[in-house]
Amino acid sequence: MSSSDDDSQQRFALGFLFALIALVISVVVGTVVVKRLGAKAPAQPAAVAASSAPAAPAVAVEADIASVRVENGVVKFYFASAKAELAAGANEALADVVKGVAEGKKAVVSGFHDATGDTALNAELAKQRAFAVRDALKALGVAEDKVELKKPEETTATGSNAEARRVEVTLGAL
């Protein structure tokens, strides 16, 4: 074989290797994008949204990921299915509640659960979630007698069981 044949074979092999690497990277990036986009709730069709009466702004809650949001002074903890772990950012979200308790109010912790599965188990899980929020408040210096726990309520979510798997914290009078 001549050296030009060897050079051609080496160039072909390198080209093939680079193409293979590019293909693998494309597949990995594509998989990550699909998983991230696939985990989000689909948007409501424009026709349905236009025909609905005005309501509070909808909150997009990812189906099975814990998260926390503050809306109009209400701290809302969303939980993954069958879990009672708080999402990252819980302490920051509770800062105004802790401040309000220090000013003489009480923290009212309300648990909710979805209607899927065993009602008794759902109620118990909602209670454990409320306890997790109460424990977070206690860890931030809120006395236990300044925290009111409300009995878990079953709720029907607006199209998402993730919306129903939540604990809300509000400030109330002592």
* Residue 120 sits in the same domain as residue 61: yes
Tell me whether residue 148 is in a domain: yes
Query: Residue 49 has what pLDDT?
Result: 40
Say if strands 106-113 and 147-154 run parallel, antiparallel, or are unpaired: parallel
Q: What's 110's domain CATH number?
A: 3.30.1330.60
Kindly state the helix (H) or strand (E) to which residue 29 belongs, with its residue range.
helix 3-39
Q: Is residue 66 part of a domain?
A: yes
Domain co-membership, 18 together with 64: no
pLDDT in tens, 10-63: 888 888 888 889 888 888 888 777 776 654 444 444 444 444 444 444 444 445
Domain region containing 95: 56-172
Note whether residue 33 is domain-resident. yes
| Overall pTM > 0.85 | no
Strand 166-172 relative to strand 74-78, pairing: antiparallel
Does 20 share its domain with 84? no
| Listed residue (5, 7, 143, 130) closest to 75, CA to CA | 130
Distances (CA, A) of 120 to 19, 70, 124: 56, 29, 6
